[in-house]
Copies of this chain bind each other. A is one copy, B any other.
Amino acid sequence: MTIRVTIWNEYLHEKNNPEAIKIYPEGIHETLKKHLSSEKDFVIRTATLEQPEHGLTEEVLENTDVLIWWGHMAHGKVQDEVVQRVADRVRRGMGAILLHSSHASKLMKALTGCSGRLLWRENNEKQIMWNLKPFHPVTQGIGEYIIIDGEETYGEPFGIPNPDELLFISWFSGGNVFRSGWIKNIENGKLFYFQPGHETFPSYNNPQVIRVIKNAVRYLKPAGFTEHTKSIWLKEPVVE
């Protein structure tokens, strides 16, 4: 049985910033697609900000089991209507993987009720991402920690709700800590936030980072979708 994955990318840095272009010449979405394609049961499509409806039409979303989202400099340009459409699909069952700077996206706020605020610094710091749950499906194959030699630093306090499952906490050489990987059940769907992936670092070519994303796609695949999220009027009582 296949898993239908849609990778959404803002796709702006990788057309304008030489550093980003060098690492992700066809865009972060294409790099992710290439790596995830090793999984033969994943059916993958991509979508970007500049497409009509940002590539996330009703039809696309109705045929997506797990959505991967990467946004950064243009959060404000994402149409509210599309955000609501995506959020509603998550409430009905779709998995959503929010990567890196998507912490500040409209989608993050729509799904968590929180701002996603954090501390940040571009200082090329060493990151050690500790695995808190060695036998969780999302951390299989990872080992004790993932070391990333250079990344953008993110730090607590992170403006999120209490996670349902906290998987990774990171150490940064400049003195910060950060909840880098966690899951929140959003009604019938699941949200996985995963921090690595600034556009000027090659974290999406790191095999451990990719392994986590692949594992998460499998874990977030829904058993099914509710038809709608409207309240239901029951004419008759269940018992008399």
Chain A residues in contact with chain B, CB under 8 A?
80, 87-88, 91, 93, 103-104, 110-121, 123, 125-126, 128, 130-137, 140, 145, 153, 155-162, 164-166, 169-177, 179, 184-188, 222-226, 229-239
Q: Contacts A119-B231, A169-B177 known; A157 to B130 CB distance under 8 Å?
A: yes
Would you list 20 pairs from A and B whose C-beta atoms are within 8 A, ordered by A residue?
Answer: A88-B115, A115-B229, A117-B231, A119-B231, A119-B233, A126-B239, A130-B176, A134-B157, A134-B188, A134-B224, A140-B223, A155-B234, A159-B229, A162-B164, A165-B185, A171-B176, A174-B238, A175-B239, A176-B237, A177-B177
Residue in B103, B123, B171 whose CB lies within 8 Å of A171: B171
Across the interface, do A123 and B237 meet the contact criterion of CB distance under 8 Å? yes
CA distance A110 to B112 in the complex (A): 8
Across the interface, do B231 and A118 meet the contact criterion of CB distance under 8 Å? yes
CA distance A119 to B118 in the complex (A): 27
A60 to chain B, nearest CB (A): 21
CA distance A87 to B188 in the complex (A): 23
Across the interface, do B132 and A157 meet the contact criterion of CB distance under 8 Å? yes
Across the interface, do B188 and A135 meet the contact criterion of CB distance under 8 Å? yes
Q: Contacts A159-B91, A185-B162 known; A134 to B235 CB distance under 8 Å?
A: no
